[in-house]
Amino acid sequence: MSRTLRGKPQPVGPRPPSARAVTRWLLTHPDALVESHRIQLKAVLANCPELDVLAKHVRTFAHMVTDLQGDQLPEWIESARAATGLPSLNRFAHHLERDLDAVVAGLSQPWNSGVVEGHVNRIKMLKRQMFGRAGFELLRKRVLLA
């Protein structure tokens, strides 16, 4: 059969955005998105109502985290659990509920343990670098000199 019988090739539209790109757009503050990404995100959210609901929950949660509004967490958990068709969001809300007091305190207080975690991470890195080479005394010396 001849190739001329197949017809004209159809024009190819723009490629849909990758899941990674959509995730990045959802997790970026709306004011920090460039206009083209904002338009693409709006089109994606218009085509998927579940993703639109998820985006609203993500933005609300991000607002609580950045503005230290942990007192709003119980209401957010209730609305997240009421969202049907989003099992991952329901699981996340359930795990937040397991230690609600600690999460509310973490989202309400300006203090964190970031400095301590940084030191622990550095010590573990030094220990991994020395694995099998020496004992506690050399590790102690490297930690004190670093």
In this predicted structure, the answer to whether residue 29 has a pLDDT above a threshold of 80 is yes
DSSP string, 17-57: PPHHHHHHHHHS-GGGS-HHHHHHHHHHHHH-HHHHHHHHH
CA max distance for the chain: 81
Backbone angles phi, psi at 48, to 5 degrees: -135, 100
Residue-wise pLDDT for 80-126, tens only, equals 999 888 999 999 999 999 999 999 999 999 888 889 999 999 888 88
Question: Hunting for tokens 């020496």 — which residue is that?
Answer: 134
Q: How far apart are CA 138 and CA 146, in angstroms?
A: 12
Boundaries of every domain in the chain: 19-108, 114-145
Global pTM reads 0.69
